[in-house]
A and B are shown apart, each in its own frame.
Chain A
Amino acid sequence: MKSLEEVLETWEAVIGLEIHSELTTLNTKMFCGCKLEFGAAPNTHTCPVCLGLPGALPVPNKAAIESIVLAGLATNCDIEKHSMFYRKNYMYPDMAKNFQTTQGPIAFCMRGHLDLDVDGPAAKERYRLDSLEPGESSGNIVRTEDGYRAHVGITRIHMEEDAGKMVHIGGGEGRIAGAKESLVDYNRAGTPLIELVTEPDLRTPEEARLFMQKLRQIYLAIGISDCSMEEGSLRCDGNVSLRRRGSAQFGTKTELKNMNSFKNLHDGLAYEICRQAQVLEEGGVIYQETRHWDPSAKRTIVMRVKETADDYRLFPEPDLAPYDLSDEFIERVRAKLPELPDQKAARYSASFGLSAYDARHLVDHRATADFFDECMALVAAEKDGSKFAKPLANLIINDVTSYLNAHPEVALTDTPLTASRAVGLVRLQSDGAISSKQSKQVFAAIMEEDKDPDIIVEEKGMKQVSDAGAIEAVVDEVLAANPEKVAQFRDGKTGLMGFFVGQCMKAMRGQGNPKVINDLLSQKLS
């Protein structure tokens, strides 16, 4: 099979996503008062409504409606005041009523979009990006300095309910295939679920991954879901088709399931694009089918061929009154909208002069952005407090992020690094008290010993010497001790500068301020 890069030379991939998110931060289910709780004993969070008992009737959870409106506002959607619930009828054992209560042609949220900033290696998947000048646009993208910005349309976000869970027994690894029997647990049945459907605006697996990441950041920021791909509270299906470069007509699409991590989303789509290209190049036909990404085998497998379009006998749910949302309701929800990641990043650039790259990486995670905000608040009163922004951003993006990556079970707020210690650390460096190399050692010591940075510097005797008089004495000593090298330097062997600096540092047991040493050496050797 060809590589993705090769395939995308000839073929354009057209990708749309369907992203389901459980509203895990609510107390109760969508249509009944059963508690939302992951991992409870089977069928202990059930009632007549979510078990689909004869005679039971649904009553919608107001907080769920508020959550989906919040999601719509955060993703630039129009909020539809008039909408209804519908019944989507098909029989499946994890769905207690044998219809799913969902929305019809009009969802609460319609016609939204998100803009993706794609840069670094991620931008390389985009076909012939280099042919564009910064600021120049093509289709839904605009070339930026270090990549491009893609405008991705959101068709709709609708409200629905999750199904129960099944465990298949008798087959391999809990799969349906080969299973003799299945166990059904309805604890999850009726969990409020919102489904976001994108326009087919995505062109590369990286864009799909970035869209999903960005959406996750937004959902976390507005607090509607814990967005755990592992526990299934955030799930993504992809629709993929190929068309030859230059063709306007869409090809037959396949639907891809089981992409339960960002990596799987990328790799599954990349594989499926390459697979389709191979089939098409060999003169084959793509069937409209549902395929399952198997990350261990690194391939997609057919789950179901859709010979005809599914006919779900959709009709308006007679048990639920229609919606006629008031302006007041929508404005009350809008008032709950926090600063969103994009807005936060823009503020970091505007207020603190951070680069777009730094700002974006800070807001990648709510925890790091919150931590940065907390740090900046501590120095806000200082005259030029914003000078700490860049070193703090560096500390967070590099040291803190790699620490958290190495300790995935630890939350930033649970580490010994408090905002005041972080500020203390960067202050020591900006005052010239410690070198950048020492700064890394102090950071490590904070995390290990749970002490304040100045105490660590004190205890370890790390205080950097910046006093020019003291350093000058050392510099003079070193130069006097190496007359030959001084002569060579003056003859043009300027690479010896490193040797002199090293000798000075050695003499000062590493505590000399390298900038002062450098300056003095340059002075004396010129």
Chain B
Amino acid sequence: MTAFGSMGIAQIKAGLAAKEFSASEVAAQTFENIARADEQVHAFLETTEALAQDAAARIDRAIAEGRFGDMGVLAGVPVAFKDNMNLTGTHTTCSSRMLENYVSPYTATCVEKCLQAGALPIGKLNMDEFAFGSSTETSAFGPTRNPWDLERVPGGSSGGSAAAVAAGMVCATLGSDTGGSIRQPGSFCGIVAVKPTYGVVSRYGVVAFGSSLDQVGPFTRSVEDAAFVLNALAGRDPLDCTSQVCDVDFTANLAEGVCGMRIGVVPAFMEAQGLTSEVREKVEDAIAQLKALGAEIVEVDLPHARAAMSAYYVLGPCEAFSNLARFDSVRYGYCDPDHADLGSQYEASRAIGFGAEAKRRIMLGSYLLSSGVYDKYYYPAQQVRTLITQDYTQAYERVDCILTPVSPRTAFKFGEIGDPTEMYLSDMFTISINIAGNGGMSFPVGLGRETGLPVGVQLISPAFKDANMLRVAAALETVYGKAPVAPAFAEEKGAE
């Protein structure tokens, strides 16, 4: 059996083009592999065999007719989606009891673009409930396990998306990132994980958490694969007012190297409280490698970044409170039975349908937007956003890309962090990028000395110059190699 999930996009497409295997075989064996691996990982909430076989049949027909070249950048490539992305006919649960039985009557633009690019839709991936969390432990349908150590979390909120790629079930998945929900699980699972600039990828059809913060991006095991997926995803969508024109070939300058590039480092981040020494060592190593490759390392300051966490825990919950008001038991979602009046049906349905973290964020947002409180937190948070954005703008006058840790530590054990405010700290290095809106990604630079778990470095681009960070990541990849499938899931029979 061929483990297509452990192949890269170019490899799968080459095999299809050479007729070494068919797209239908790719689909079928991907599902077989998932059936085996996912028993341990629990990355998938739903697999979509029929949709994948239909798509595969179209690709196979194209191959037979000699049209494979026209079928798109992801033609025949298995891709799976975070479960907050609508795909007609599939459940879109956001890992919440609230949407346990919800079946999408429409498809998100990011999903549609993958399908248009020829991807085989494999299924829907576990996440923290409504993306509230950093561990995928808040999923109402059970946590996802980290393929590198099944006793540990994969990170979150896009934990399923990261774990599926790290375990070699698929070579590409989509996740969403509001405060670090792509980059942090990418780091925990040792893969490439990209949060593009806000506006590069349409949010239409992706269940909203923080509308001004959310952005969709890919998980892959190589920088090139991430660029392929971004090529499929990026661009203005008439259905999303905040999406923007993005005529970039993300693969174009991957091989250019970093010679002459100026890479920023933030001394204050490297001395941050809570940053473990094994993570710091790996980040310093990556800096040294880039220097050796010819990059100029420049110290930059992001003086307002320390307020980013606070601003985030104002803006995120405020937007979430409003975005989640629609889950009211009237048009869809959990409806507690036998209530004589709507008020009690509302309260019971939302009490039962939402988990503890969702309730906390909704409550927090409702409080922060109330009159009197708004001026104390919400408005200043939006002003702080201006200052944080200016920090980045000023830094990018001197550098092309900034390098920082992704997460202060490697993956933690289930239940290890119980206190919500402590959990929030795992996003301390990622959050300011969502506040400012520019692009950030995690690139795996090997395993931590103490825990033996993957460590990622975060590369941060100026807004709409996402190609910069991909170029730096590609350079690092020449040193650290492509991200491996987690050892326990690596193919014995070896497709690589």
Contacts and interface: CB of A to CB of B under 8 A. Distances in A.
- A–B contact with Cβ pairs below 8 Å: the answer is yes
Given A93-B342, A321-B242, A55 B378 contact: no
Nearest to B212: A318
Given A55-B205, A313-B369, A89 B105 contact: no
A242 B99 CA distance: 51
A365 B366 CA distance: 48
B239 A57 contact: yes
Contact of B92 (A54, A93, A309): A54
Contact of A318 (B108, B319, B328, B330): B319
A55 B326 contact: no
Interface stretch (A95-103, A202-210, A245-253, A299-307): A95-103
Interface in B336-367: 340, 342, 346, 366
Given A55-B108, A59-B238, A315 B325 contact: no
A58 B323 CA distance: 13
Interface string A305-333: 00001010111001111000000000000
Contacts of B332: 53-54
A132 interface: no
A184 B330 contact: yes
Contacts of A60: 241
B63 interface: no
Given A53-B105, A320-B241, A96 B331 contact: yes
A48 B208 CA distance: 13
A54 B94 contact: yes
Contacts of A87: 322
Q: Max chain A CB contacts within 10 Å: which of B205, B326, B332?
A: B326
Interface string A277-315: 000000000000000000000000000000001010111
Interface residues on B, range: 35 or more
Interface residues of A, number: 33
Contact of B241 (A48, A313, A321): A321
A89 B318 CA distance: 11
A180 B246 CA distance: 53
B31 interface: no
Contacts of A110: none
Contact of A99 (B105, B240, B325, B370): B325
Q: Max chain B CB contacts within 10 Å: which of A59, A314, A320?
A: A59
Given A55-B108, A55-B204, A321-B242, A93 B84 contact: no
A345 B472 CA distance: 72
Given A59-B238, A91-B346, A313 B322 contact: yes
Nearest to A60: B241
Contacts of A186: 331
Interface in A431-471: none
Interface of A: 47-48, 51-60, 87, 89, 91, 93, 96-99, 180, 182, 184, 186, 309, 311, 313-315, 318-321
B328 A56 contact: no
B86 A55 contact: yes
Nearest to B205: A55
A58 B211 CA distance: 12
Q: Max chain B CB contacts within 10 Å: which of A48, A55, A97, A98?
A: A55
Contacts of A320: 241
A54 B322 contact: no
B102 interface: yes
B206 interface: yes
Contacts of A184: 330
Contact of A59 (B105, B210, B241, B342): B241
Contacts of A99: 322, 325
Contacts of B325: 89, 91, 97-99
B326 A319 contact: no
Contacts of B84: 54-55
A57 B322 contact: no
A25 B213 CA distance: 36
Contacts of B328: 91, 93, 98
Contacts of A314: 369
Contact of B86 (A54, A97, A321): A54
Contacts of B318: 315
B207 interface: yes
